[in-house]
Amino acid sequence: MRVYVGRAVLDLFIPRLCVVCGRSLSLREDHICLDCLADLPRTYYSKLSRNRMADRLNGLIQRDLEEPEPYSYATALFYYRASTGYRDITKDLKYRGNIASGRFFSEMLASEMADSELFSDIDTVIPVPLHWTRRWSRGYNQAEVIGEVLARRFGASLRPDVLCRHRRTKTQTRLSIEGKVSNVVGAFRLRRCADLTGASHILLVDDVFTTGATLCSCQKTLRGAVGPKVRISVATLACVGD
């Protein structure tokens, strides 16, 4: 009760707004109003070993490979639709520093994944890195915010020290799919001291899955460092499509 009284007083001075529709939140709502939460376009991919996101990712991973790769599991909390307010969930985290809201939605993703046997044995969580200049100007890496929540839920180790983005890639928005793939090929490297001994199920984490080009590039870099038996899965808050 005391929490609600404190919150009511605070809300008078700094109204808390729904990240999706901008309406003032009631005392019992956090970050998103109940109406927007009810309509959140969830993917429910966490329980599906094969889904459209995973198919898209695996299609890219398998391209030009002689030996088939084990199929990577992939999941996202919700569909990213540019025409709706739901896009602001990831935009608020990425551009407006709304880390608390990012953590809130990451917890929802974590709950869904923890319920799925596809992901229950994750032992290592690796966020997709930003180029250091972008990390420095933004002050944080949004993928690491999500990865931290997931790692805690799975009791896995969070390893932002494994990959680095050694080339600043162009903004992907205006590129074709082929352009996006070639834009990020070779953009990631393993850090020299990165040690993945003991990892058996790695989860790569990013904020939005668009074509899968970035995550595919990270997957290939990691595969070069771990044996074929190590599973590499992918999770994002949002997935473009549908």
Q: Which residues bind Zn ion (CB under 5 A)?
A: 18, 20-21, 33, 36
Residue number with CB closer to Zn ion (39 or 195): 39
CA distance 121 to 138: 32
Residue number with CB closer to Zn ion (40 or 226): 40
What is the rounded (10 degree) CA torsion for 33, 39, 40, 42? 150
User: Closest approach of Cβ 28 to Zn ion, in Å?
Assistant: 14
CA distance 194 to 209: 25
Element housing 6 (H / E): helix 2-13
CA distance 163 to 166: 9
User: Closest approach of Cβ 11 to Zn ion, in Å?
Assistant: 16
* DSSP 8-state symbol, 230: S
User: Closest approach of Cβ 85 to Zn ion, in Å?
Assistant: 7
Name the phi and psi angles at 206, rounded to 5.
Answer: -140, 175
Kind of pairing between the strands at 188-190 and 163-165: antiparallel
Residue number with CB closer to Zn ion (36 or 203): 36
Cβ partners under 8 Å of residue 9, min gap 6: none
Residue number with CB closer to Zn ion (33 or 238): 33
User: Closest approach of Cβ 81 to Zn ion, in Å?
Assistant: 15
User: Closest approach of Cβ 34 to Zn ion, in Å?
Assistant: 8
CA distance 221 to 242: 29
CA distance 215 to 202: 13
CA atoms within 13 A on the CB side of 81: 13
Residue number with CB closer to Zn ion (36 or 125): 36
Element housing 130 (H / E): none
User: Closest approach of Cβ 40 to Zn ion, in Å?
Assistant: 10
User: Closest approach of Cβ 44 to Zn ion, in Å?
Assistant: 21
Residue number with CB closer to Zn ion (25 or 240): 25
Quick check: helix, strand or coil at residue 125? strand
Residue number with CB closer to Zn ion (33 or 222): 33
